[in-house]
């Protein structure tokens, strides 16, 4: 059963219970009021009748008892035509006179046993108030029995109950129609929300629920759903990108590992199958060592990347830029001297806030690429200013289409030069990860033949 149907039924049942209860209370209250009024009328009529009978019987005192009572009853009934059914008995209980029809004579047998009392009796399809009274006439005791009809009160109550049932039934039908229309309109946004959820479940993560300009719970739910859908879409897209990047990383790594392993296996197999002179053996062994060292460097950088991916927060402290540059240059002194590279350092007193080991590794990887890209006898400028570290070379430069991909693992803009210089495309990926851990980003400015400038920009100015 749909929610709007359940809500309609619940509301309808509650309304019907309330209206029925209210109608029942009003009907019972009205019935009791009418019944009490009619009972009071019956008692008053019985009292007046007994007084009239007493006066009339005194007026006819010269007649015998039976004749006197008969005339007194006729006179009383004449003056009180609404007195109802009456019977008079003498002091010994013998019935002297009554106007009960034969079919109603049975009422006399169920009269109250104690004078001054009354009770309600159903008889032959009617309802009567049976009253017993005593009165004295010339020191003689008489008993008056009267039957006051109450059927009209009960019939009126039944008629009112039937009318109330019809009215409540009509109200129920009208309420059902109005509630169905109102709830259908109220639940329309929920149906749209359901449709959006089904689209998302089917893979359409861009689906959204239409948000009407309403501030009720439905509008808030639609906004929350759209916020959740947006977060889900972003998460799925991020996972998709990560999965694609991971697959690409594995493919690139397998490709990168294949070349040095193939070379090592080839030279080892050559040495195993052939008797080489000492010069050829040294050449083969040098190639095997060179490729092994390349694999070692690749493995070391992969391990660094792996550790950075799951590392805790870096140990941050203030360091002078010159100290970081000096430590990074010491590790690259030999390849720099081989090419005759000159270094120019500016802003050495600028304080840099970061993890010293990680920052030195970042600068080393950027400098290593700059040295490889520089021409022999060239120069490299290292600079620092509040919020930025920069490294500029005068090398071959990089084509614009390669710039967005430089920090991707195993990506090499010039593969032939990278192979000859034992590159593996992991240095800039490692540098980018270190920058991210420091809340920084790496940007490249380059063009073929005009050198390259790398800028590490921090999210806030670097100052003590």
Q: Give me the phi and psi of 461, to 5 degrees please.
A: -55, 140
Mean pLDDT (whole number) for 43-51: 85
Cα 410 from chain centroid? 45
- On whether the CB atoms of residues 130 and 147 are closer than 8 A, the answer is yes
Neighbouring-strand partners of residue 317: 354
Cα 203 from chain centroid? 21
Task: For the chain, give every residue range classified as CATH 3.30.565.10.
Answer: 311-458
Burial of 298 (0-12, 13-18, 19+ CB in 10 A): buried
Mean pLDDT (whole number) for 56-73: 72
- On whether the CB atoms of residues 329 and 360 are closer than 8 A, the answer is no
Report the Cα–Cα distance between both ends of the chain, in Å, rounded.
Answer: 67
Cα dihedral 348/354/355/360 (nearest 10):
-40
Q: CATH assignment of 311-458?
A: 3.30.565.10
For 80-89, 149-158, 425-434, 455-464, which range has the lowest pLDDT when averaged over its residues? 455-464
Cα 132 from chain centroid? 74
Q: List b or e across 15-37, with b for residues whose CB sees 16 or more CB atoms inside 10 angstroms.
A: bbeebeeebeeebeeebeebbee
Query: Where residue 298 falls among pLDDT bands split at 50, 70, 90?
Result: low
Q: How far apart are CA 124 and CA 107, in angstroms?
A: 10
Q: How far apart are CA 251 and CA 257, in angstroms?
A: 10
Identify the CA nearest to 183 among candidates 16, 17, 11, 13.
11
Looking at the predicted structure, is the pLDDT value of residue 152 above 70?
Answer: yes
CB-based contacts of 34, cutoff 8 Å, min separation 6: 153, 156, 157
Phi-psi domain of 462 (left: phi exceeds 0; alpha: psi -120 through 50; beta: other): beta
Q: How far apart are CA 203 and CA 225, in angstroms?
A: 16
Task: For the chain, give every residue range classified as CATH 3.30.450.20.
Answer: 3-172
Instruction: Summarize pLDDT for 307-324 with one digit per residue, the tens.
Output: 665 555 677 889 999 999
CB atoms within 10 A of CB 4: 19
Q: How far apart are CA 436 and CA 418, in angstroms?
A: 25
Which CATH class for the 3-172 domain?
alpha beta
Helices assigned H by DSSP within 311-396: 321-331, 333-339, 356-373
Task: For the chain, give every residue range classified as CATH 1.10.287.130.
Answer: 199-306
For 28-42, 76-90, 369-383, which range has the lowest pLDDT when averaged over its residues? 76-90
What percent of the chain is modeled with pLDDT above 90?
17
Instruction: Summarize pLDDT for 191-250 with one digit per residue, the tens.
Output: 777 788 888 888 887 888 776 566 667 777 777 878 888 888 888 888 887 777 667 666
For 5-9, 263-267, 294-298, which range has the lowest pLDDT when averaged over its residues? 294-298
Instruction: Summarize pLDDT for 396-443 with one digit per residue, the tens.
Output: 888 888 888 888 766 665 544 444 444 446 778 878 888 888 889 999
Q: How far apart are CA 390 and CA 345, in angstroms?
A: 10
Residue located via tokens 């008079």: 88
- The whole-number pLDDT of residue 215 equals 67
Neighbouring-strand partners of residue 134: 143
Burial of 217 (0-12, 13-18, 19+ CB in 10 A): exposed
Look up the CATH architecture of domain 199-306.
Answer: Orthogonal Bundle (1.10)
- The whole-number pLDDT of residue 413 equals 58
CB-based contacts of 332, cutoff 8 Å, min separation 6: 364, 367, 368, 371
Q: Which comes out higher in pLDDT, residue 235 or 184?
A: 235
């Amino acid at each position: 059963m749909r929610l709007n149907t359940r809500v309609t039924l619940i509301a309808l049942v509650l309304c019907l219970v309330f209206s029925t209860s209210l109608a029942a209370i009003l009907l019972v209250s009205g019935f009791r009021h009418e019944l009490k009024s009619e009972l009071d009328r019956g008692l008053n009529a019985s009292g007046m009748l007994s007084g009239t009978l007493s006066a009339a019987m005194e007026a006819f005192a010269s007649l015998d008892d039976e004749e006197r009572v008969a005339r007194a009853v006729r006179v009383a009934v004449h003056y009180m035509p609404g007195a109802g059914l009456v019977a008079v008995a003498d002091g010994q209980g013998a019935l002297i006179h009554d106007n009960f029809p034969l079919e109603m004579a049975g009422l006399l047998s169920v009269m109250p046993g104690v004078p001054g009392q009354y009770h309600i009796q159903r008889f032959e399809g009617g309802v009567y108030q049976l009253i017993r009274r005593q009165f004295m006439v010339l020191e003689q005791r008489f008993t008056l029995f009267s039957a006051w009809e109450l059927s009209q009160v009960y019939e009126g109550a039944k008629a009112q109950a039937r009318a109330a049932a019809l009215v409540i039934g009509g109200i129920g039908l009208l309420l059902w129609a109005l509630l169905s229309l109102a709830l259908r309109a109220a639940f329309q946004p929920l149906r749209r929300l359901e449709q959006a959820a089904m689209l998302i479940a089917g893979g359409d993560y861009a689906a959204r629920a239409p948000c009407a300009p309403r501030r009720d719970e439905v509008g808030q739910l639609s906004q929350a759903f759209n916020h959740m859908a947006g977060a889900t879409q972003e998460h799925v897209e991020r996972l998709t990108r990560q999965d694609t990047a991971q697959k690409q990383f594995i493919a690139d790594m397998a490709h990168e590992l294949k070349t040095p392993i193939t070379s090592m296996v080839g030279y080892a197999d050559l040495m195993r199958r052939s008797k080489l002179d000492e010069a050829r053996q040294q050449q083969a062994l040098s190639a095997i060592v060179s490729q092994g060292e390349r694999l070692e460097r690749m493995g070391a950088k992969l391990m660094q990347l792996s550790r950075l991916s799951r590392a805790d927060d870096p140990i941050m402290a203030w360091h002078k830029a010159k100290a970081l540059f000096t430590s990074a240059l010491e590790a690259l002194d030999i390849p720099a001297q081989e090419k005759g590279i000159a270094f120019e350092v500016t802003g050495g007193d600028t304080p840099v806030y970061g993890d010293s080991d990680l920052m030195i590794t970042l600068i080393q990887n950027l400098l290593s690429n700059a040295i490889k890209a520089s021409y022999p006898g060239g120069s490299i400028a290292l600079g620092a200013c509040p919020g930025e570290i920069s490294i500029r070379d005068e090398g071959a430069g990089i084509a614009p289409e390669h710039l967005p991909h430089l920090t991707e693992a195993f990506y090499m803009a010039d593969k032939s030069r990278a192979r000859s210089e034992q590159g593996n495309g992991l240095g800039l990926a490692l540098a980018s990860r270190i920058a991210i851990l420091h809340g920084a980003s790496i940007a490249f400015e380059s063009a073929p033949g005009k050198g390259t400038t790398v800028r590490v920009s921090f999210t806030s100015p670097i100052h003590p």
